[in-house]
Amino acid sequence: MGQRTLFFYKLLIFAGKEENIRDVVIVTRLFEKLNEEKVFKDPVHRYIHVRDQLIWELIGTSEFQRLRRIRQLGTTFFTFHGAEHSRFGHSLGVYEIARQIIDIFKNRNDWDDSETLLSLCAALLHDVGHGPFSHSFEKVFGTDHERYTQAIILGDTQIHRLLEQVDPAFPEKVADVIGKTYGNRLIVSLISSQIDADRMDYLLRDAYYTGVSYGHFDMERIWRVMRPAGDQIVFKLSGMHAVEDYIMSRYQMYWQVYFHPVTRSAEVILTKILHRAKVLYNQGFAFKHVPEMLRTLFEGKITLDDYLSLDESVIMYYFQAWQSEHDPILSDLCARFMNRRLFKYVEFSKELLNANEELTEAFREAGIDPDYYLDVDFSSDSPYDFYRPGEEGVRQPIQLLMPDGSLHELSSESDVVGAITGKRRTDHKLYYPKDKVLALPDRSQAKKKIRELLHI
- Cβ proximity to Ca ion: between 52 and 198 the closer is 198
Per-residue binding letters, 119-158, with Ca ion (x by CB under 5 A): --------x-------------------------------
Instruction: Please identify, using beta-carbon distances, which residue of 86 and 411 lies nearer to Ca ion.
Output: 86
Q: How far is the CB of 252 from Ca ion (least distance, A)?
A: 19
CB of 8 to Ca ion, least distance (A): 36
- Specify the residue, 96 or 127, whose C-beta has the smaller distance to Ca ion: 127
Minimum Å gap between C-beta 86 and Ca ion is 12
Q: Which is nearer to Ca ion, 129 or 261 (CB)?
A: 129
Candidates 197-205, 223-231, 240-248, 447-455; binding stretch for Ca ion (CB under 5 A): 197-205
Nearer CB in complex with Ca ion: 122/240: 122
Closest approach, Cβ 402 to Ca ion, in A, equals 31
Where does this chain touch Ca ion (CB under 5 A) — which range of 21-29, 196-204, 248-256, 423-431? 196-204
Q: How far is the CB of 127 from Ca ion (least distance, A)?
A: 4
CA distance 36 to 34: 5
Closer to Ca ion by CB, 217 or 319: give it: 217
- Residue 47: other Cβ atoms inside 10 A: 11
Contacts of 101 (CB under 8 A, 6+ apart): 190, 197, 223, 226
Stretches 190-198, 238-246, 365-373, 409-417: which one binds Ca ion (CB under 5 A)?
A: 190-198
Listed as own residue / partner, the contacts of 403-407 with beta carbons closer than 8 Å and 24 or more positions apart are: 403/237, 407/229, 407/234
Cα separation, 361 vs 261, whole angstroms: 25
Q: Which is nearer to Ca ion, 127 or 375 (CB)?
A: 127
| Contacts of Ca ion in 334-393 (CB under 5 A) | none
Helix extents (H) in 226-327: 240-253, 261-282, 295-298, 304-308, 312-322
Stretch that binds Ca ion, among 66-74, 138-146, 161-169, 192-200 (CB under 5 A): 192-200
Query: How many positions of this chain bind Ca ion (CB under 5 A)?
Result: 2
Cβ–Cβ contacts within 10 Å for residue 242, how many?
18
Q: Per CB under 5 A, does 96 bind Ca ion?
A: no
Burial of 429 (0-12, 13-18, 19+ CB in 10 A): buried
Contact 344, 432 (CB under 8 A): yes
**Does residue 198 touch Ca ion according to CB under 5 A?**
yes
* Closest-CA residue to 400 (of 386, 384, 379, 414): 414
CB of 231 to Ca ion, least distance (A): 22
- Report 405-434 residues binding Ca ion (CB under 5 A): none
Q: Quick one: 145 or 364, whose CB is closer to Ca ion?
A: 145
Stretch (H or E) spanning 255: none
String of b and e for 22-34 (b: at least 16 CB within 10 Å)?
A: eebbebbbbbbee
- 311 scored as a contact of Ca ion (CB under 5 A): no
Closest CB 111 distance from Ca ion, rounded Å:
23
Burial category of 40 from C-beta neighbours within 10 Å (exposed 0-12, middle 13-18, buried 19 and up): middle
Residue 109 backbone class (left: φ over 0; alpha: ψ -120 to 50; beta: rest) = left
Which residue's CB is nearer to Ca ion, number 198 or number 325?
198
Provide the minimum distance between the beta carbon of 53 and Ca ion in the complex, in angstroms, as a whole number.
24
Smallest distance from Ca ion to CB 199, Å: 8
Amino acid at 107: N
Nearest to 308 by CA among 63, 142, 134: 63
Segment contacting Ca ion by CB under 5 A, of 39-47, 139-147, 193-201, 340-348: 193-201
**What is the nearest approach in angstroms of Ca ion to the Cβ of residue 137?**
17
**Quick one: how far is CA 251 from the chain centroid?**
17
Closer residue to Ca ion (CB): 219 or 437:
219
State in angstroms the smallest separation of the CB of 68 from Ca ion.
15
Contacts made by residues 360-363, CB under 8 angstroms, sequence distance 24+: 362/446, 362/449, 362/450, 362/453, 363/432, 363/446, 363/450
158 vs 342: CA distance, rounded Å: 40
What is the C-alpha separation between 340 and 359, in angstroms, rounded? 25
| Nearer CB in complex with Ca ion: 127/244 | 127
The site for Ca ion (CB under 5 A) is made up of: 127, 198
